[in-house]
Amino acid sequence: MKVVKNLTEGNIYKNFFLFAIPLIAASLLSSMYGTVNAMIAGKYIDNFAMGAVGATESFNTMISCLFSGFTIGATIHTSRLFGQKDYRGVKRNIFAILSFLVVGILTVSVLTLLLHRPLLSFLAIDESILADARTYFLIYVAGQLFPIFNVAVIQILHAVGITNFIFYMSLLSMGLNVGGNLFTVLVLDMGVAGLAVSTVTSAAIVTVLYLLKLRTAFRDMPSERVKIGFYPSMLRATLRYSLPASLQQGVMYLATFFLSPAINVLGPAATTGYAAALRIYNISAPCYQNSSKAVANYVSQSIGAGKTENIPRGLRVGLLQGALLLLPFALGTVIFAKPLASLFFESGYTGEAFAYAVHFSRVYMPLVYLNMLNNLAHSFFRGMGSMLELFVCTLSGSASRLVATVVLAPMLGMEGVFIAWAISWAAEALLCVVLYLTRYRTLAQIEKRIR
Determine the Cα–Cα distance for residues 388 and 295; give it in Å rounded to an integer: 18
pLDDT at 145 over 70: yes
Alpha carbon dihedral 40, 41, 46, 48, in 10-degree steps, equals -140
pLDDT for the residue numbered 369 = 92
- Provide mean pLDDT across the span 409-426: 93
Determine the Cα–Cα distance for residues 286 and 239; give it in Å rounded to an integer: 27
pLDDT at 210 over 80: yes
Determine the Cα–Cα distance for residues 221 and 156; give it in Å rounded to an integer: 14
CB 355 within 8 A of CB 276: no
pLDDT at 3 over 50: no
Distance between first and last Cα of the chain? 36
Determine the Cα–Cα distance for residues 33 and 199; give it in Å rounded to an integer: 10
Determine the Cα–Cα distance for residues 76 and 403; give it in Å rounded to an integer: 32
- Provide mean pLDDT across the span 332-359: 87
Rg (CA), the chain: 21
pLDDT at 5 over 60: no
pLDDT at 314 over 80: yes
**Residue 351 identity:** G
Q: How confident is the model at residue 34 (pLDDT cuts 50, 70, 90)?
A: low
Q: What angle do CA 16, 19, 24 make, to 5 degrees?
A: 110
Model-level pTM?
A: 0.68
pLDDT for the residue numbered 2 = 44
Q: Which helix (H) or strand (E) holds 89?
A: helix 87-114
Determine the Cα–Cα distance for residues 434 and 438; give it in Å rounded to an integer: 6
% of residues, the chain, pLDDT over 90: 18
Determine the Cα–Cα distance for residues 330 and 36; give it in Å rounded to an integer: 20
- Provide mean pLDDT across the span 308-332: 86
- Provide mean pLDDT across the span 139-164: 82
Q: Is 10 helix (H, G, I), strand (E, B) or coil?
A: coil
Alpha carbon dihedral 360, 365, 367, 370, in 10-degree steps, equals 120
Residue 332, class by beta-carbon neighbours within 10 Å (0-12 exposed, 13-18 middle, 19+ buried)? middle
Determine the Cα–Cα distance for residues 29 and 12; give it in Å rounded to an integer: 26
- Residues 6 or more apart whose CB falls under 8 angstroms from that of 172 comprise 205, 206, 209
- Residues 6 or more apart whose CB falls under 8 angstroms from that of 342 comprise 349, 354
Lowest mean pLDDT among 34-43, 85-94, 113-122, 325-334: 34-43
Determine the Cα–Cα distance for residues 72 and 74; give it in Å rounded to an integer: 6
CB 80 within 8 A of CB 308: no
CB 276 within 8 A of CB 268: no
Residue 110: count of CB within 10 angstroms of its CB: 12
Determine the Cα–Cα distance for residues 4 and 221; give it in Å rounded to an integer: 8
Return the closest-CA partner of residue 166 out of 124, 129, 214. 214
pLDDT for the residue numbered 163 = 67
Residue 143, class by beta-carbon neighbours within 10 Å (0-12 exposed, 13-18 middle, 19+ buried)? middle
pLDDT at 426 over 90: yes
pLDDT for the residue numbered 417 = 93
- Provide mean pLDDT across the span 387-400: 86
Q: Is 425 helix (H, G, I), strand (E, B) or coil?
A: helix
pLDDT for the residue numbered 371 = 92
- Provide mean pLDDT across the span 316-333: 87
% of residues, the chain, pLDDT over 70: 92
Phi and psi at residue 306, in whole multiples of 5°? 70, 30
- Encode pLDDT of 52-108 as tens digits: 777 788 788 888 878 887 887 777 777 777 777 777 877 888 888 888 888 899 999
pLDDT at 202 over 80: yes
pLDDT for the residue numbered 33 = 63
Lowest mean pLDDT among 34-48, 50-64, 213-227, 261-275: 34-48
- Provide mean pLDDT across the span 33-39: 68
- Encode pLDDT of 226-261 as tens digits: 677 677 777 777 777 777 777 777 777 777 778 888
- Residues 6 or more apart whose CB falls under 8 angstroms from that of 249 comprise 65, 66, 68, 69, 72, 394
pLDDT at 224 over 70: no
pLDDT for the residue numbered 1 = 38
pLDDT at 418 over 70: yes
pLDDT for the residue numbered 313 = 84
pLDDT at 167 over 80: no
Instruction: Spell out the SS3 assignment of 246-295.
Output: HHHHHHHHHHHHHHHHHHHCCCHHHHHHHHHHHHHHHHHHHHHHHHHHHH
pLDDT for the residue numbered 429 = 94
Return the closest-CA partner of residue 402 out of 252, 266, 250. 252
- Residues 6 or more apart whose CB falls under 8 angstroms from that of 372 comprise 288, 292, 322, 323, 326
For 52, 102, 112, the CA distances from 115, given in Å and listed in that order, are 19, 20, 5
- Residues 6 or more apart whose CB falls under 8 angstroms from that of 282 comprise 31, 34, 35
Q: How confident is the model at residue 434 (pLDDT cuts 50, 70, 90)?
A: very high
Lowest mean pLDDT among 82-91, 184-193, 202-211: 82-91
pLDDT for the residue numbered 254 = 74
Q: Which helix (H) or strand (E) holds 430?
A: helix 414-439
